[in-house]
Amino acid sequence: MKIVIRADASAEMGGGHVVRCRSLAEALVARGWAASFAVRVENLKTVRQLAGGLEVMPLSGPAHAEHDELMRLLPDGCDLLLVDHYARGLDFERACRSWAKITVAIDDFPDRPHDCDLLLDQTAGRHADDYAVQLPAGTPVLTGSMFALLRRQFARARWELAGPGGFKAPRSSGPFRILVALGATDPGNLTRTVLHALDHVDGEIAIDAVLSAGAPHLDSVRATIAGSRHDARLHVDVAEMATMMVDADLAVGAAGSSAWERCCLGLPTLAIQTAGNQRDILAGLVEAGAAAVAGPDDSSVAAAAKALIGDLSRLGLMRRAALALCDGLGAERLAVWLGPPVFARDGRRVSLLPVEDADAATLLAWQHDPGTRRHARVSDIPNETEHMAWFALRRADPGCVLNMVNHGDTRAGIVRLDRRTDRDGFEVSIVTAPEKRGIGIARAALALVRELLPETHLLAYISSANEASLSLFAASGYRPLGEDWYENRPAGDAPRT
């Protein structure tokens, strides 16, 4: 299987499109795909710096004839064309129809038409209906920040945050650490502006500024850091960005794709809009309570930073709001969606989708069903207040992954994954909607969970009296560990002793 990605990056446009496409490409490569970027020749150097070793093909012909050039470069076509480019929409996608078996478009704003088989918009608060007039009828649309395409390092780092309270403990000593990350290339040199602004903020502060080697104002930032009143350092071409985010107490960052990386790790953000297409992302972050806003000037950044640094209660609320927006598995979710479909016994497709606010009431109704409670560890039925508190807590818990199970377009169950540090894996809990039992929904969902986390050790706790679950998990490849625990190991993983 071959994916070709049409995306570009440069000092002027930044690297967000390439970075998020790389995340999906790596998830597909891990599942046996081959992946290549197709980019304008003038952007070749920048894309290669961001592509993580994936193949990069230069396009040197006229922009209006790129589809012809792609057909010459790859005459056998591709299985999947991924288009993440504001200047390549309907006409380009339509011209590539005979060359690509499937076309997936990524967009951030529902203001232009597409001719694709699937559209992804990872903006928080976006809805499929927003694209109704921009797509052919019936085109699937995946929306929301749980579909943010992040590198796997962010999900792994998120899981490490899980603890007794479900959240990273607040810093009890040492300097207040601020991460300044305004895009890989930061063409407007906002990094320098922010560093100047932070010189007006008192207190014990450590600053980590991040840029790529291709940033046009790198020397200017170096000079500014050398004169900073705080302990400030410049980091160039950071490979493990997740580690830097975990170590930070606050980020000053752009409202682009990197916003979802910060949310995944519960990092409160002082956000600055650096491009027009970031407007909706910024609005979603603020509405959720995960970010505060500053203008692109010294006084605005200084005032906002002073207000946040001294307000530990607000920072805690921002951290929880951020964690609830993105769990870092968007690339894995899309890779599963693009893989072989899984069906219930009635022939309808079964899929895993992130939970939404409206699902809370559905889950509560299922909890009142006697069949759901029969073998539950806690037999008492929660009241609405208890359930809503549980729902909010689990969504913001870095050690919990919540997945709704869809049967066609209908909610049919939920699969909850809870990280077990005592057993080095995720415990799987599954509930099927009462009216959907008996048609293979649960078994299909367990197969999809295995695909979602292909390298992860999965566990299940099943009462010996629960014959239906014992049969289900045994048929899904789970083997006994003893004391009512069962496991499903990743492919090639040796048995645990």
Tell me how far apart the alpha carbons of residues 234 and 221 are, in angstroms, rounded to a whole number: 8
C-alpha 176/C-alpha 204 separation (Å) is 6
Q: What is the pLDDT of residue 274?
A: 87
- Closest to 462 in 3D by CA, of 343, 376, 363, 357: 376
Lowest mean pLDDT among 59-63, 141-145, 318-322, 377-381: 377-381
| pLDDT tens-digit readout, 204-224 | 999 999 998 888 999 999 999
Please report which confidence band the pLDDT of residue 257 belongs to, taking 50, 70 and 90 as the band edges: confident
Stretch among 344-353, 474-483, 485-494 having the lowest mean pLDDT: 485-494
- DSSP per-residue letters across 423-468: TTEEEEEEEE-GGGTTSSHHHHHHHHHHHHSTTS-EEEE--TT-HH
Tell whether the torsion through CA atoms of 443, 448, 452 and 455 is positive or negative: positive
Query: How many CB atoms within 10 Å of residue 28?
Result: 23
Q: Which domains does the chain have, with CATH numbers?
A: 2-143 (3.40.50.11190), 171-325 (3.40.50.2000), 340-488 (3.40.630.30)
What is the Cα–Cα distance from 315 to 389, expressed in whole angstroms?
A: 20
Strand partners, 119: 105, 141
**Cα distance between residue 469 and residue 465, in whole Å:** 9
Helices (H) and strands (E) in the chain — how many of each? Answer: 18, 21
Task: Count other Cβ atoms within 10 Å, centred on residue 36.
Answer: 18
DSSP string for residues in 381-408 = PP-HHHHHHHHHHHHT-TTEEEEEEEET
Task: Supply the pLDDT for residue 12.
Answer: 82
pLDDT, average across residues 82-104: 96
Q: What angle do CA 80, 74, 100 make, to 5 degrees?
A: 30
Contact 100, 4 (CB under 8 A): yes
Cβ density class 81-96: b for 16+ within 10 Å, e for less: bbbbbeebbeebbebb
- Extract the runs of DSSP E, i.e. beta strands, from 109-175: 118-121, 141-143
Answer whether residue 29 shows pLDDT above 60.
Answer: yes
Residue 42 near residue 56, CB atoms below 8 Å: no
Q: 222-256 pLDDT, tens per residue?
A: 999 999 999 999 999 998 999 999 999 999 999 88
Indicate the pLDDT class of residue 373, thresholds 50, 70 and 90: low
For residues 324 and 287, what is the distance between their CA atoms, to the nearest angstrom? 13
Which tokens hold the place of 264?
Answer: 């995944």
Q: What's the mean per-residue pLDDT of the chain?
A: 93
Angle 239-244-249 from CA coordinates, rounded to 5°: 160
Which helix (H) or strand (E) segment is 192 a member of? helix 190-198
pLDDT number for residue 381: 81
Q: What is the pLDDT of residue 497?
A: 42
Q: Write the pLDDT tens digit of every residue in 40-58.
A: 999 999 899 889 999 999 9
Buried b or exposed e, range 186-213, using 16+ CB within 10 angstroms: bbbbbbbbbbbbbbebeeebbbbbbbbe
CA 166/CA 170 separation, integer angstroms: 12
Helix (H, G, I), strand (E, B) or coil at 218: helix
Between helix 152-160 and helix 16-29 the angle, nearest 10°, is 80
pLDDT in tens, 154-196: 999 999 998 754 455 555 568 999 999 998 889 999 999 999 9
The more confidently predicted of residues 493 and 102 is: 102
- Locate 231 and state its tokens: 């302990």
Burial environment of residue 455 by CB neighbours within 10 A (0 to 12, 13 to 18, 19 or more): exposed
pTM for the full predicted model: 0.92
Question: Cα(444)–Cα(430) distance, rounded to whole angstroms?
Answer: 11
Which residues in 258-328 belong to E strands, given as ranges? 269-272, 291-293
Q: Give me the mean pLDDT over the 363-380 stretch.
A: 76
Place of tokens 């519960």: 266
Q: Which residues pair with 181 in a beta bridge?
A: 253
